[in-house]
Structure 1
């Protein structure tokens, strides 16, 4: 009996496809089958796949007669799978040699676990390591931390059904959530995969759309996700959600009420005012803060503020402390410009030290862009 079924959907992935297949052939665990789903490629992907299939009977090719995109291609592949454990990979990514062995052994030893995932490297187009996921948050409900190195039981797939074609670009996160509502999902803190960032991969091409779809998914599953969050986690999570999806306020308040919690969505949404005649202090000197700087314009920004970088300069602008913001708040617009996941914590900090008049960049960035960058 085949232990592991690997599905590899490919659409015009000839550039890296051989490397992806070779990483499977190099596995220390050899009881696997590879099902390559060719989704109407017009390059040499099919020829490359056929070359490997002719040499190894464990490799099969399914060719779609019409382009089905990723979710349906995954369903087609797994409908033909014989293994007791399932995983899938991409034509531009790489398994490390012990990935299958490590994940299968973990599932063998932990019968209650429905799905397991490992850490991964991020690599560039040439295969150089850029970073990894070991130091990222691994609270699955607060962030999509599973990445691309995972394995789940056939039983879990039978329970939750197939990948949802209507969840294109977030079909994986949707699937992991659905599994997690039924089974424990656990992490192996080892780097066993390389995820390639390059100009042609889906993450790069659809980055903004993926982010938007992730927030749509979080709104859809908010009730179920909230069951796995503490009261404080729920508040932090919902604030980040609200900044991206302001119309989710009524649903958030309804769920909070049922849980016996108080959440004031209107209070968060009220922080959208600023005085166009005053200069700004941007709280957050990271990527989001620098985005705000570019949008507002350097001449309208007097300071950055940041809990880690105060005393430094960023883009030629002095970075001050939160306490200094308190002293200057009446002279400047204070704008919080940090990532969704950090916004609620900074809001708590501002209110704790007495900075009550502030705006939220993520809430008003479209208005700022229209005001000061109308050509964008």
Structure 2
């Protein structure tokens, strides 16, 4: 039974043609040790069996709240997340993508952290990387405290967007500001951090990030890198961000690789470059 003293958590899960992995994602949320939650699953114009899966889970567990958009909203799920968030009743909001998994204690640990640290707006976690079968293939760590997160924002997105829990401050305004063709989560969380909202990452592997052949992150790589660079320059131009010289040099090196290597080889090269440069 939910603890009446525990804040309601609204888990936001946009999904587009996600029938393959959606059941596992939903199970990982519904089986959380933290029980006082609702799951807003927004079917973003799917044409596979996604809608039937959502409706099946909603019949079995009244914490699942189906939402529907007739056409894909695009922008990597951020626009769909904004729509779903407007229906959220929770004091706290959590993100999980429909192809990822949450550790059984993820919400419990993140809620406890925010309750113990009322000055912190958002808490993330480290990631365990998994393949299409759920087998661990690696890990991704992030800076932990607010200042370290801020320092790394030019080099990379130092928060795992599918792993965040944050306070529901955005009933009137959307968290994700749609300003670029890609990576509006990267831009938007920097805007919030720069405005004074504190962020933190738990140094624990509480979210499983799935790497598979349908990940949208592995398409239009050069186009997406241009968006990434435009966002970084916005940090400097519009917000006065001071990027460390070493971070600028790493980004120039990555850009050289991306603009030189045939795109068919970029995924392999980029993953190796990330490991070498810790980017």
**1:285 matched residue in structure 2:** none
Q: Please, which of 131, 140, 159 is the counterpart of residue 152 of structure 2?
A: 140
Q: Which residue is 2:15 aligned to? A: 10
Q: Which residue of 2 aligns with 1:269?
A: none
Q: After superposition, what is the alpha-carbon deviation per residue over 1:46-92, rounded to whole angstroms, capped at 9, x for unaligned?
A: 00000000111111111112321222211110011111111221111
Residue 94 (structure 1) aligns with: 101
Gaps in structure 2 of 5+ consecutive residues: 263-272
Unaligned runs of 5+ in 1: 246-271, 273-287, 296-337, 343-376
Q: Spell out the pairing of 1:17-36 with structure 2 (5 A cutoff).
A: 17-36=22-41
Query: Is the partner of 1:165 in helix, strand or coil?
Result: coil
The TM-score normalised by the length of structure 2 is 0.80
Runs of 4+ in 1 over 6 A off after TM superposition: none
Tell me how far apart the structure 2 counterparts of residues 207 and 99 of structure 1 sit (CA, whole Å): 31
CA shift, 1:20, in A, is: 0.4
Map of 2:114 onto structure 1: 107
C-alpha distance in 2 between matches for 1:101 and 1:115:
14
Do residues 216 (structure 1) and 223 (structure 2) align? Answer: no
TM-score by length of 1: 0.60
For 1:135 and 1:161, locate their aligned partners in 2 and report how far apart those are by CA, in whole Å: 25
CA contact (8 A) 2:183 2:228 kept: yes
- 1-side partners of 2:53 and 2:244: how far apart? 48
Q: Does structure 1 residue 64 correspond to structure 2 residue 77?
A: no
Cα shift at 1:240: 4.6
Q: Which of the two has higher C-alpha Rg?
A: 1
SS of the equivalent of 1:221 reads: helix
Report the CA distance between 1:159 and its aligned residue.
Answer: 8.5
Following TM superposition, by how much is the alpha carbon of 1:244 offset from its aligned partner in structure 2, in angstroms?
Answer: 7.5
Residues 7, 204 of structure 1: alpha-carbon distance in 2 compared, 3 angstrom cutoff: same
Equivalent positions of 1:298-313 (< 5 A) are: none
Does structure 2 retain, via aligned residues, the 8 Å contact 1:198–1:204? no
Cα distance per residue 1:291-315 (max 9 Å; x no partner) = 97x88xxxxxxxxxxxxxxxxxxxx
Q: 1:159 to 1:24 in 2, by over 3 A?
A: same
In the alignment, which of 74, 83, 89 is matched to residue 82 of structure 1?
Answer: 89
Measured on the aligned residues, the alpha-carbon RMSD in Å equals 3.0
Does 1:234 find its partner at 2:234? no
Q: Secondary structure at the match of 1:203?
A: helix
